[in-house]
Amino acid sequence: MARYFTEEHEWIDIEGDTATVGITDYAQEQLGDIVFVELPEVGSTVDKGKDAAVVESVKAASDVYAPVSGEVTEANDALEDDPALVNTSPEEDGWFFKLTLSDKSELDGLMDEKAYKSFCDGL
């Protein structure tokens, strides 16, 4: 399984054609206490770079853009009851949604963990 990262602080796990998407620990730290997550509907398609989800912290609402395009196959229902999972376990239990990749070449140019870490260090 390969994990990729975006400059918008999302992570993407790839297993075959399936991508699991979430936001990084750095992102949740910046957002603060998360009280609500609006996820895309299963069966809908998301386009790379376009709105896919919304994260509401106590402070403000923030858009989460789709890091890759595809059809949404699953949304993390656990976030409905416990949105704070995004704070406590952003890169595991606090995943947002899964999708079937429509264009694997969109993964080109995304960062690996090491590159993402140095990207964050430079912020």
Partner 1 sequence: MSETTSETEKLPLDSWHRAKGARMVPFAGYEMPIQYAGASGGGIVAEHDWTRNSASLFDVSHMGQLIVSGEGAAEALEQLVPGAITSLKPGRVRYTLLLNDEGGILDDLMITNVTSWVEGDEEAGEEGGWGEPTYYLVVNGATKWDDIAHLREHLPDEVTLTHLEDRALIALQGPNAATALGRVMRGVPDRLTFMQSLDYQFGEWDLRITRAGYTGEDGFEISVASEFAEPLANRLCAEIEVRPAGLGARDSLRLEAGLPLYGHDLDTETDPVSADLMFALTKKRREAGGWKGHEALVERMAGGAETRRVGLVVEGRQPAREGARVFHGDKDVGRITSGGFSPTLGHPVAMAYVARDYAELDTKLEIEVRGKRLSAVVAPMPFVPHKYYRGEK
Check if the beta carbon of residue 40 is closer than 8 Å to that of residue 52: yes
Q: How many residues does the chain have?
A: 123
Q: CB under 8 A: which stretch of 5-13, 32-40, 69-77, 100-108 binds partner 1?
A: 32-40
- String marking each residue 33-52 x if it binds partner 1 according to CB under 8 A: x-xx-x--------------
Nearer to partner 1, 10 or 38 (CB): 38
- The C-alpha angle 13, 39, 5, rounded to 5 degrees, equals 30
* Cα gap 11→27, rounded to integer Å: 10
The yes or no reply on residue 59 touching partner 1 (CB under 8 A) is yes
C-alpha 102 chain-centroid distance: 17
Query: 80 forms bridges with which residues in the sheet?
Result: none
The only residue of 2, 42, 61, 115 in contact with partner 1, by rule CB under 8 A:
61
The yes or no reply on residue 117 touching partner 1 (CB under 8 A) is no
Residues of this chain that bind partner 1 (CB under 8 A) = 32-33, 35-36, 38, 54, 56-61, 83
